[in-house]
Amino acid sequence: MATTDASILRARTVTRALLLATFVIGALNAAVYFAGVLQANANAVGILFVLFIGLAALQVLLGLGTVIAGVVYGLRMRREGESMATAMGMAFLGVAGAAGGVVGGVGGVGLVALAAGMGGAWGRPLRIRGRVRHPELRAGSDWTEGDRPSVEGLDAPTCAALEALWLHDAQKEHASVPAFARVAWTLIAVGAPAELVTRTFTAAQEEIAHTRLCFALAAGYGGRSHSVESMPELLVQGLDVRGDAFVHLALESLNDGCLLEDYNADVAAACRDACEEPVTGAVLACIAREERDHAELSWSILDFCLARGGQPVRDALLDAAGKLGSIPRPTAVSGEKLALVARADAAALRAHGRLPDTEWARIYTERLGRTHVRLAELLGHRDARRASVADAAA
């Protein structure tokens, strides 16, 4: 640039400074994000999240400032008969920086919101329009039934954490009841055999029992009873089956039954093995056994859908097999309860059947591998059976 006009030089310096600041803040924000992802301490995660949002907002402001400064710089260059290309290039980078701040900020908030709902539990997830749902809590005892655990030797923060974790499980178990009711309804709609429908209603009844047991444990740890609020969304969005019902049943069974309920059974069994409190241990043993039955039911439903739904089901399952690894893993503790659990005595949590998320992650990796193998076998065997029938016909 040949000009030495002071106003142009000033505009260029401001634009460069704002652009540099935009990208420095963007890089810093990315570092904060990954530090938050890798951070195990709940309080630190909260601080990093606030910092992340603040930096994203600052990045957007700096990006927009760069755009304005770049345009001013360009217009001044044009006034002097100089090329605007450099100034417009910087303004464009400012737009990219601001857009990066918006996308990163919204994406980060979305991931945190997702994490808040991703705490695992011992039931089949209830999805409505793709969102995992469960009932809210209220005071009451009409869903509480079962023995109370001993809280001897537990401090108040640990009791509070155990109460919160079992209440979360009770909410998820309760949601499994309409989830199985929907499976039963859909099975009947597609003409499934009585054996599958019976097993599905049995699973729903077992989820009712699990809910009561979880509320009873929560009452024991917290010294007060809870129940559930109504779920009016089920009245208008309950069935939620679109397209090929066999494909829908097969995909839901694969994700929520074959994978997640088998994972639930694995985790419950590991928690039972760690648990030293007899009442809680007995509940975990019951849940581990019955969640395994629910997973087996889902494999049976998958087999039925393949037999009756034909090629579309097979194609959908082959496609889903490649995406199983991208299903978000249910974590040991949902996002909003991390701080509460961080204040509890970790050894006491384990003695009461609560394992850390690192162990959940290890169990999930193993389960994911087994699910992949079993699905491949199911699809392969079906092909083998079809091939043998074709050979016999020839």
Note whether 168 binds Fe ion by CB under 5 A. Answer: no
* 261 or 266: CB nearest Fe ion: 261
* 52 or 166: CB nearest Fe ion: 166
**What is the size of the binding site for Fe ion (CB under 5 A)?**
9
* 158 or 171: CB nearest Fe ion: 171
* 174 or 314: CB nearest Fe ion: 174
CB of 265 to Fe ion, least distance (A): 8
* 154 or 363: CB nearest Fe ion: 363
CB of 173 to Fe ion, least distance (A): 5
The two beta strands, 226-228 and 137-139, are antiparallel
Alpha carbon 110 to its chain centroid, in Å, reads 11
Contact call for residues 295 and 265 (beta carbons, < 8 A) = yes
Interaction mask 202-241, Fe ion, x per CB under 5 A = -----x--x-------------------------------
Alpha carbon 296 to its chain centroid, in Å, reads 23
Give the span between the Cα atoms of 252 and 254, in whole angstroms. Answer: 5
Output the furthest CA–CA distance in the chain (Å, rounded).
90
Residue with tokens 């779920």: 231
* 163 or 291: CB nearest Fe ion: 291
Kindly tell me which residue out of 36, 63, 94, 123 binds Fe ion, with binding defined by CB under 5 A. 123
Residue 66 burial (CB count, 10 A):
30
Residue 229 burial (CB count, 10 A):
11
CB of 210 to Fe ion, least distance (A): 4
User: Rule CB under 5 A: which of 263-302 touch Fe ion?
Assistant: 291, 294
Tokens of 97: 């920086």
Instruction: Give the angle subtended at the CA of 289 by the CAs of 167 and 350, to the nearest 5°.
Output: 50
Residue with tokens 């039955």: 293
Stretch binding Fe ion (CB under 5 A), from 104-112, 131-139, 182-190, 199-207: 199-207
CB of 291 to Fe ion, least distance (A): 5
Kindly tell me which residue out of 73, 122, 215, 246 binds Fe ion, with binding defined by CB under 5 A. 122
Instruction: Give the angle subtended at the CA of 137 by the CAs of 131 and 143, to the nearest 5°.
Output: 110
Nearest of 337, 371, 370 to residue 354 by alpha carbon: 337
* 29 or 298: CB nearest Fe ion: 298
- Using alpha carbons, list the distances in angstroms from residue 26 to 45, 54, 349: 19, 11, 39
Binding site for Fe ion (CB under 5 A): 122-124, 173, 207, 210, 261, 291, 294
